[in-house]
DNA sequence: ATCAATCATATTGTCTAACAATCTGTCAAT
DNA sequence: ATTGACAGATTGTTAGACAATATGATTGAT
């Protein structure tokens, strides 16, 4: 029996806040891919003890945001082209599932909210507001995942997406693709509107595959292959 | 250039071994779902310091095997029927992807190995050897994932499956279903043999859905719903 | 000048000890 | 039976220490 008035105990522990802070620092690009995370510097940066810091690092490592190199220290995970391709393929499967589940399970309100957010996205075509765009996209996915009523999926998709965020710098510069993106997402939304979960899923997978291709092309163009 | 004689540095840190040990203890059922993990007891059990233990617990918590309850301590995650259903739906998507990728990417040797393992499974029908059966199934999935050449998928699927392992007690008792299971997997294998990735995927999803249903029925029968 | 062995230093891996904050169960008072 | 206070246990967090390992500089030999 969870009361409506129950206090939020989640963030009470310093540990949880530290994990959030560190994750935020990575996702925001403040700590860039490849950066070494020296314990002494990090403890000063966050004002916590070494023990706590190490606990947080373990957590983010198992989320894939940090790579642990024994005796050398943790490093912000840097994505290579092959790893990026793999991430996108898994993402296709999860996003496809999300669309299919949303179609079956979402409430009318959630459905409506999704359509509204999509309209907001459509209104942005032509304008140059990368921040608003990123936010609207985030809203879209948040709404989509919410409507799946599947917390496991929500968690896994979020974690996967967090790892992909690092590539945003690559995709942003190719933002001329936005009209195409919109068309692809539009097909997903239409399928959801029609109640056709299977098609929504297929369209979502196609969309992710297209995005993955853009990333691969950027890798080639910039010759970003690592050792 | 990795030498054949390179020492295994993976397990060198006590930390890594502790994580493995603790995970093993949970997966094996030695630490059952719902069990409290009191720090003092655990440090004695594994012979490590409190700090290390807490790091390991953070790791397993973010894998979902352990649930952290602030100020009360960690608990071995106990699956309810709803969560089980969600896990299986995600698993369907991932297993489907794995089959599809295997069809496209696996080498001839990997393909052959998969067929051999399946033959081993077929030979087990009728016999009562739960241990050998579990092992053969594990081999099957290990081979399947290997052939996908997708480490991200491998990792996510493994983590997801680890969480599901806890339900094995429910599915084992319903082992009269083995012939059906075999038939379902057989359809997957046939599709792979025919090079039809799409069908392999569909069959895999059907198989997982069937397994999920069994679990749901067991939940109903045993009336295992939690608060 | 180049290469290899050596050594000093920084950093990680791990442990112990301590104390504050929080939970849990007990016992007394009403 | 309910409330409240109290004691013990457990978690949350910090600090300090030392061993093992990595890194970069120095030295020595060729």
For residue range A129-152, what is the model confidence (pLDDT) as tens digits? Answer: 888 899 999 999 999 999 999 999
Check residue B119 and give its pLDDT.
96
- Chain B: give the shortest CA distance to residue A7, in Å: 13
Spell out the residues 6+ positions from residue B87 whose beta carbon is closer than 8 angstroms to its own. A152, B79, B160, B163, B164
CATH 1.20.120.530 is the classification of domain A81-222: yes
pLDDT interval class at A8 (50, 70, 90) = low
Three-class secondary structure of residue B142 per DSSP: helix
CATH 3.40.50.1000 is the classification of domain A10-76: no
Average pLDDT for B153-170: 94
Query: Do the Cβ atoms of A124 and B189 come closer than 8 Å?
Result: no
Percent of chain A with pLDDT over 70: 92
Higher pLDDT, A10 or B113: B113
Of the candidate ranges A65-69, A145-149, B171-175, the one whose mean pLDDT is the lowest: B171-175
Query: Model confidence over A202-220: pLDDT tens digits?
Result: 999 999 999 999 999 999 9
Radius of gyration of chain B (CA): 19
Distance of alpha carbon B28 from alpha carbon B141, whole angstroms: 18
pLDDT interval class at A33 (50, 70, 90) = very high
Tokens of B37: 């993990």
The CA–CA distances, whole Å, from B152 to A87, A158, A227, B98, B106 equal 6, 14, 19, 11, 16
Nearest to A83 by CA among A210, A214, A216: A216
Query: Do the Cβ atoms of B56 and B23 come closer than 8 Å?
Result: no
pLDDT at B130 > cutoff 90? no
For tokens 């963030």, what's the residue? A11
Tokens of B107: 């080498």
Tokens of A88: 């996108």
Residue A49 touches chain B, beta carbons under 8 Å: no
Query: Do the Cβ atoms of A45 and B47 come closer than 8 Å?
Result: no
CA-based nearest residue in chain A for residue B226: A1
Of the candidate ranges A75-84, A86-95, A174-183, B46-55, the one whose mean pLDDT is the lowest: A174-183
Check residue B169 and give its pLDDT.
82
Query: Model confidence over A115-130: pLDDT tens digits?
Result: 999 999 999 988 878 8
Neighbours of B134 (CB within 10 A): 13
Check residue A15 and give its pLDDT.
96
Instruction: Tell how strand B66-69 and strand A73-76 pair up.
Output: unpaired
Would you tell me which residues have their CB within 7 A of strand C? A 9, 12, 36-40, 50-51, 54, 68, 70-74; B 13-15, 47-52, 70-72
Distance of alpha carbon B82 from alpha carbon A196, whole angstroms: 24
Query: Model confidence over B6-20: pLDDT tens digits?
Result: 444 456 899 999 999
Check residue A224 and give its pLDDT.
54
Average pLDDT for B172-186: 86
Average pLDDT for B193-213: 97
Of the candidate ranges A66-70, B176-180, B215-219, the one whose mean pLDDT is the lowest: B176-180
Spell out the residues 6+ positions from residue A177 whose beta carbon is closer than 8 angstroms to its own. A214
Three-class secondary structure of residue B5 per DSSP: coil
Determine, for residues B83 and A152 on separate chains, whether the beta-carbon distance falls below 8 Å.
Answer: yes
Spell out the residues 6+ positions from residue A145 whose beta carbon is closer than 8 angstroms to its own. A98, A153, A154, A157, A158
Q: Dihedral through CA B163, CA B165, CA B167, CA B170, nearest 10?
A: 170
Residues facing residue B69 across a β-bridge: B73
- Chain B: give the shortest CA distance to residue A58, in Å: 6
Distance of alpha carbon A11 from alpha carbon B70, whole angstroms: 9
Nearest to A66 by CA among A93, A95, A39: A39
Average pLDDT for B205-217: 95
- DSSP code per residue over B143-158: HHHHHHT-HHHHHHHH
Radius of gyration of chain A (CA): 19
Percent of chain B with pLDDT over 90: 81
Tokens of B43: 């440090």
Q: Which residues of A touch B15 (CB under 8 A)?
A: 58
Check residue B128 and give its pLDDT.
79
pLDDT at B98 > cutoff 80? yes
pLDDT interval class at B227 (50, 70, 90) = very low
Nearest to B161 by CA among B64, B91, B76, B84: B91
pLDDT at B1 > cutoff 60? no
Nearest to A96 by CA among A203, A195, A190, A194: A203
Distance of alpha carbon B56 from alpha carbon A103, whole angstroms: 39
Of the candidate ranges A35-49, A65-79, A117-131, B5-19, the one whose mean pLDDT is the lowest: B5-19
Left if phi > 0, otherwise alpha if psi is -120 to 50, otherwise beta: which for A25? Answer: alpha
Query: Do the Cβ atoms of B157 and B146 come closer than 8 Å?
Result: no
Determine, for residues A70 and B150 on separate chains, whether the beta-carbon distance falls below 8 Å.
Answer: no
Check residue B131 and give its pLDDT.
85
Distance of alpha carbon A34 from alpha carbon A79, whole angstroms: 9
Query: Do the Cβ atoms of B143 and B81 come closer than 8 Å?
Result: no
Check residue A226 and give its pLDDT.
45
Check residue A37 and give its pLDDT.
97
Round the average pLDDT of chain A to a whole number and report it.
92
Check residue A127 and give its pLDDT.
80
Tokens of A47: 């004002």
Residues facing residue A67 across a β-bridge: A75
Indicate the domain borders of chain A: 10-76, 81-222
Round the average pLDDT of chain B to a whole number and report it.
91
Residues 59-98 of A with CB under 7 A from strand D: 70-72
Q: Span B14-76: which CATH code? A: 1.10.10.10
Average pLDDT for B59-76: 97
Residue B151 touches chain A, beta carbons under 8 Å: yes
Query: Do the Cβ atoms of B224 and B81 come closer than 8 Å?
Result: yes
């Amino acid at each position: 029996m969870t009361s409506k008035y129950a206090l939020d105990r989640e963030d009470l522990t310093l540990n949880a806040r530290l994990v959030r802070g560190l994750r935020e620092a990575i996702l925001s690009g403040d700590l860039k891919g490849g950066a070494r995370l020296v314990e002494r510097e990090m403890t000063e940066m966050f004002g916590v003890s070494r023990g706590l810091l190490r606990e947080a690092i373990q957590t983010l490592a198992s989320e894939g945001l940090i790579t642990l190199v024994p005796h050398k220290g943790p490093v912000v995970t840097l994505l290579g082209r092959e790893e990026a391709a793999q991430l996108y393929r898994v993402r296709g499967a999860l996003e496809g599932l999300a669309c299919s589940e949303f179609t079956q399970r979402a409430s009318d309100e959630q459905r409506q909210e999704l359509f509204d957010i999509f309209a907001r996205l459509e209104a942005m075509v032509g304008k140059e507001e990368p921040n608003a765009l990123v936010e609207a996209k985030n809203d879209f996915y948040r709404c989509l995942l919410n409507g799946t009523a599947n917390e496991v999926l929500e968690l896994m998709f979020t974690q996967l997406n967090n790892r992909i965020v690092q590539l945003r710098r690559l995709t942003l510069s190719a933002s001329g693709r936005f009209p195409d993106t919109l068309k692809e997402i539009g097909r997903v939304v239409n399928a959801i509107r029609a109640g056709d979960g299977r098609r929504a899923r297929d369209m979502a997978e196609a969309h992710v595959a297209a995005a993955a291709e853009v990333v691969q092309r950027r890798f080639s163009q910039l010759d970003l292959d690592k050792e």
